[in-house]
Amino acid sequence: MFIVTGGAGFVGSNLVRELNRRGHTDILVVDNLTRGEKARNLADLTLSDYMDKREFRARLNAGTLDLRPEAVFHNGACSDTMESDGCYMMANNYGDSKALLHWCLARKAPLVYASSAATYGASADFEPVPKNEAPLNVYGYSKLAFDQHVRSLLPAIQSPVVGLRYFNVFGPREHHKGRMMSVLHQLLRQLIETGACRLFQGTDGFGDGEQQRDFVFVGDIVAINLHFGSAGMAKAIVNAGTGRARSFNDIARALIAHLGQGRIEYIPFPDDLRGKYQSFTQADVRSLREAGYRAAFTEMEAGIAATLADL
């Protein structure tokens, strides 16, 4: 069997869908459906069980989760980069992850977990080493704190543990994420509702709409997860990105070209984001390749077309 935490979320539900496509249905999904619209992401999937994340954590703590999974894919987290409650963020992203890690280690169950490029903050170097890590918010710190805990254990760990630092993931099944939807879906909604994509004016030395991110298609993120879930004795923290930065203008132009209509408008950069915003990210993929993942990445335009075809 497989365990997928955050299985009703964006990456998690795409992962369950691909497991189903490969013939796997013995899947325990762990999530929190307080926001009931996330259930839409599960409705077309086949799983053997669902467990609320609070029950899951309680059973981890009590030692009553008697399962022997083939692999655990840990995508459950608070992903709101604007959340300021550090206690809440650390309980979700550090405490829950730590409990699951030690449960997996006790059973020698492979663990592949979601870290984040937010661990790098405003760094211009994205090699996954401590000197480059300077998160700009408590979300980024919560992810870094868990990575640091994993690093402290890696030399002695006797089972596969791989942390994936997700860059800017986009694709289908994001409808529930609200303001935390990928730039692609935010711009698509703007185009449909107003006929225009609104991008930030220049900041941090970048021109209007020329801020750049490493946009990675969710299908590639799923493939990386599944690779390391069955890759033998992998122990690493690696970047999960394409290694190629693209501008927000590039996404807007691709959407406008695909829809055959629309325009770009530039709006002032928000004061409350100054000093907290990553104007540039680009994964250093050497760590990923050295850990054994060799597949090519989906071109952004092809990923956009696949996403729109799946809506």
Q: Which residues are catalytic?
A: 139, 177
3-state class of 265 per DSSP? strand
Complete edge-to-edge strand list for the sheet that includes strand 71-74:
49-52, 27-31, 2-5, 71-74, 111-116, 161-166, 235-240
Question: Phi/psi of residue 198, each to 5°?
Answer: -100, 115
3-state class of 292 per DSSP? coil
14, two tokens: 């795409």
- Burial status of residue 220 (CB atoms within 10 A of its CB: 0-12, 13-18, 19 or more): buried
Name, in order, each residue with C-beta under 8 angstroms of 73's C-beta and a sequence gap of 6 or more: 2, 3, 4, 5, 12, 15, 112, 113, 225, 229
How many whole angstroms separate alpha carbon 179 and alpha carbon 28? 28
> Do residues 243 and 284 make contact, with C-beta atoms less than 8 angstroms apart?
yes
